[in-house]
Amino acid sequence: MSDEWKSSSSSGEDAKSWKLLEKALLSSVQEQRRSRRWGIFFKLLTFIYLFGALALVLPVLDLKKASTTEAHTALIEIRGMIADREEASADKVVGSLRAAFEDTNTKGVILRINSPGGSPVQSGYIYDEIRRLRGEYPQTKVYAVISDLGASGAYYIASAADEIYADKASLVGSIGVTAASFGFVETMQKLGVERRVYTSGEHKAFLDPFQPQKEEETRFWKGVLDTTHRQFIESVKQGRGERLKADEHPELFSGLVWSGEQALQLGLVDALGSASYVAREVIGQKEMVDFTLRDTPFDRFAKRLGTSVADRIALWMGFQGPTLR
């Protein structure tokens, strides 16, 4: 009996030891998990703090970059699509222009352009502001320099400058207006899908791609585009004046695009040269200060998150307005 009791006692102590060890291990694992969660939380908090601080500091750094006490050439980039909420929106370009002109050390302004065009409204705003600032600061000249592409709305803007420069291989022109859509009428019929649209105006749905086109509505829309095209042509003629050889070359306003070398012969540009060439040889101040207003990383991130699905659907369904491109 004594040996059996000892054996039973020993087994009970082993079981207790294992339970204690198991509890200790579980506690250790739980503690590690807890620490890992807190570690992730604090890392995320630190990342958000640094990202927010960067978003606040970068605009200040941009302002410092654009401030100088020495004579300089002001540089403003017009890159990509000219449209609201884009890098080349009227708000950003106009803000950049005003800052450049108001700086007493600015000896000349260069618009470095690489854009296919975009909104006629945004382009028109920028065009008008360039003309206004030229009148207010007559001693400060504006030079448009086209790099790869200066077409449609981008050329609209360039025509407001005192002079236009381009590379011999740049693409220049495309003075025209476009508005594109799709037609899904036959596809709907083949699929056996009925389109139901309820409107309170006779022509409210005239751009609906799921309904047949009506001749009178097509004529109306063509009239809208022709009016926008006429406004575009008048602005270019006003900006370029007698330098534009429009009488000999009526195709200038047909939407065609030319190389920089050809554009020089047609009066679309004044000379061939780069931004650095214009700053050094024309303005006489090779030191360039960038006045371009740009989105902060935080703005770009917020923009991507906030892209409206409705905007994309409207574009796909044909509700896009006239575009200079």
What's the fold here for domain 72-176+234-300? 2-enoyl-CoA Hydratase; Chain A, domain 1 (3.90.226)
CA 6 to chain centre: 85
CA distance 98 to 60: 18
* 83-131 pLDDT tens trace: 998 999 999 999 999 999 999 999 999 999 999 999 999 999 999 999 9
By residue count, the chain amounts to: 325
Long-range contact set of residues 67-71: C-beta below 8 Å, sequence gap at least 24: 67/103, 68/103, 68/105, 68/289, 69/105, 70/105, 70/287, 71/105, 71/107, 71/285, 71/287
Mean pLDDT throughout 150-155?
A: 95
CA distance 97 to 85: 17
Q: Any idea which of 131-140, 191-200, 233-242, 312-321 has the lowest mean pLDDT?
A: 312-321
Say how many C-beta atoms besides its own lie within 10 A of residue 225's C-beta.
16
Question: pLDDT value at position 184?
Answer: 82
Is the pTM higher than 0.85? Answer: no
Q: In the chain, where are the structural domains located?
A: 72-176+234-300
- Asked if the model's pLDDT at residue 14 lies above 70, the reply is no
